Amino acid sequence: MSFPAITRLSPNRDCAVPNERRGIVFHHTVISFEETIALMTDPARKVSYHCVIAADGTRATLVPDEQVAWHAGISSFRGRTGCNAFMLGLSFAGDTYAAPLTDAQIGSALEWIGPRWSRYGWTIEGMTDHRQVAPGRKDDLNPAEWDRLRQILQDTFGKPV
């Protein structure tokens, strides 16, 4: 199955940066898909993800992979600060505390991640969420939804240990 994909480039990005992509920081938006696109194409807001996925699985690319999106803020992953410089930001429209990710959102995310997983040589250890890279400051994703998503990523892409 292939989900609809649109492009709405955000002005909120750094264009000239090293091409280092160690993994993904997952987010949820709380607000709707359309509201997210409006926010992220507003240069006054200084925020962006690489991609946001609607409840029906529609994906919107906001920042190209080889550029830096402004999604993680003050953050740290595996001893390194400033996750935006080396992690892609993938977000789900909605609030994972109010409702679980939809099957379409997960299917669309897997579709987006698949080619990148091999291109960048990712492992499950490169997958994280905003709550874990900015503890106490951010709460996305719901830990139960993170555990479910991580298991799906492991089952789909991870090599047996």
Q: Would you tell me which residues interact with Zn ion (CB under 5 A)? A: 27, 130, 140
- What span, in angstroms and rounded, lies between the C-alpha atoms of 15 and 64? 9
> Quick one: 119 or 147, whose CB is closer to Zn ion?
147
> Quick one: 122 or 146, whose CB is closer to Zn ion?
146
- Does an H or E element contain 155, and which? helix 143-157
SS3 content of the chain, % helix, strand, coil (to 5): 30, 20, 50
Minimum CB separation of residue 84 from Zn ion in Å reads 12
Contact 32, 93 (CB under 8 A): yes
> Quick one: 22 or 130, whose CB is closer to Zn ion?
130
Minimum CB separation of residue 1 from Zn ion in Å reads 27
Contact 31, 39 (CB under 8 A): yes
Minimum CB separation of residue 27 from Zn ion in Å reads 3
